[in-house]
Amino acid sequence: MGTAARDRDDSGRPRSTRPRDALGRPLPYGSEGVARIPDDLELSADETLVYAQDLLDRGQAFSAHEVLEAAWKNGPEHERALWQGLAQLAVGITHVQRGNRTGAAALLRRASGRLALVGRPAPYGVDVVRLADVAATLADDIDEAADIAPARLRIHLRASVRQTATREVYRNSWLTLREDEIVRPDGSPGVYAVVDKTTYALVIPYDPDQNRFHLVEQFRYPLGLRRWEFPQGTAPEQIDLDPIALAHRELREETGLHAERMERLGQLDVAAGMSSQRGWVFLATGLTEGEHEREPEEQDMHSGWFSRGELDRMIRDGEITDAQSLAALTLLALRQGYA
């Protein structure tokens, strides 16, 4: 029995000529698909990033993945983590676009892990820190069955302000202060001081039956004032701690409360002009009382329940001024539909 002749390249390897759509899905023979990316594509790093960005901007993440994959396979060994991570990010976005959420989450987590291995500053001005965070955040939201707006898939591979060098100025157990040498979009040089802190969790303990909230009050040394706010904190000794686990820990330590349900409401930036720190906001319900486990610096902390009316009054009167707590209430308002 004879076999049909297959289209082959110059080296004799079989070549697929079946057209594909913009998401890389095969179309019937004879259909008009998007242009295929050559298997032997050879571009400089800069050309690769420009080409891939153009494809991403046009919603063709699968084709962008093929361009980045060519750089991964053809580039130097010491850049493999960079190009592999970018290719996995692009194909992860492709799976989001296709509706394959399980595959998307797995690929996005791999992308985040690979990009985290790239040295700083990253080659070619690639914004690896932000891209790793974007990939991880998308994966988390997919796991939480959140809707992914198309705008969140329009990623930018390079930062508009590029880091060219960095030095550590100060470090302790809670934060690092670094000074970066940068190049602005117009090409002019500059310096930027950045405070790096680990991701935090903020918890809104809520009793829906009585429409009341649990707050903590503590002395905030930099302000020299006592302030009411929602329980929140970091785990610098466990930087890989899952945000939900961190939220449960902070709630238990500061209030003694245990939550049956911990729902993620969204993410906040602390002080984007000076710090890289970001945080997750959670709504805790199904609460039971217990003993708090406060750290030494939290021994003067107080906590208590407040009705919605009392909470609103405290905000109006300036008793609650913590920016993260106020922003968290906005996320809750959106969740409850009365913003």
Both 66 and 128 in a single domain?
A: yes
Enter the tokens of residue 334. 């959106």
Both 288 and 228 in a single domain?
A: yes
Both 71 and 131 in a single domain?
A: yes
User: How many structural domains comprise the chain?
Assistant: 3
- In this structure, of 35-44, 133-142, 237-246, 256-265, the range with the lowest mean pLDDT score is 35-44
Cα distances from 210 to residues 88, 214, 284, in angstroms, run: 47, 12, 14
**pLDDT for position 94:** 96
Residue 307 lies in a domain: yes
Both 99 and 131 in a single domain?
A: yes
Average pLDDT, the chain: 91
Residue 330 lies in a domain: yes
Instruction: Write out the H or E segment, with its range, that includes residue 26.
Output: none
**pLDDT for position 271:** 95
Both 226 and 171 in a single domain?
A: no
Residue 177 dihedral angles phi and psi, to the nearest 5° = -105, 120
pLDDT in tens, 280-330: 999 999 999 988 877 766 678 999 999 999 999 999 999 999 999 999 999
Residue 38 lies in a domain: no
Q: How confident is the model at residue 40 (pLDDT cuts 50, 70, 90)?
A: confident
Q: Give the range of the structural domain holding residue 126, as residue numbers without chain letter.
A: 45-153
* pTM score: 0.77
pLDDT in tens, 91-126: 999 999 999 999 999 999 999 999 999 988 889 989
What CATH number is associated with residue 140?
A: 1.10.3450.10
Both 187 and 214 in a single domain?
A: no
Residue 187 lies in a domain: yes
Residue 57 lies in a domain: yes
pLDDT in tens, 164-210: 899 999 999 999 999 999 999 888 999 999 999 999 999 999 999 99
Across residues 83-90, what is the average pLDDT?
98
Q: Which of 95, 128, 153 is the last residue of a domain?
A: 153
Both 144 and 77 in a single domain?
A: yes
Residue 217 lies in a domain: yes
Q: Which residue has the higher pLDDT, 241 or 194?
A: 194
Both 234 and 221 in a single domain?
A: yes
What CATH number is associated with residue 221?
A: 3.90.79.10
Residue 26 lies in a domain: no
Measured CA to CA, the distance from residue 152 to residue 139 in angstroms comes to 12
The DSSP symbol for 95 reads H
Measured CA to CA, the distance from residue 226 to residue 261 in angstroms comes to 30
What residues are paired with 307 via a beta bridge? 212
Both 232 and 320 in a single domain?
A: yes
Residue 240 has pLDDT above 80, yes or no: no
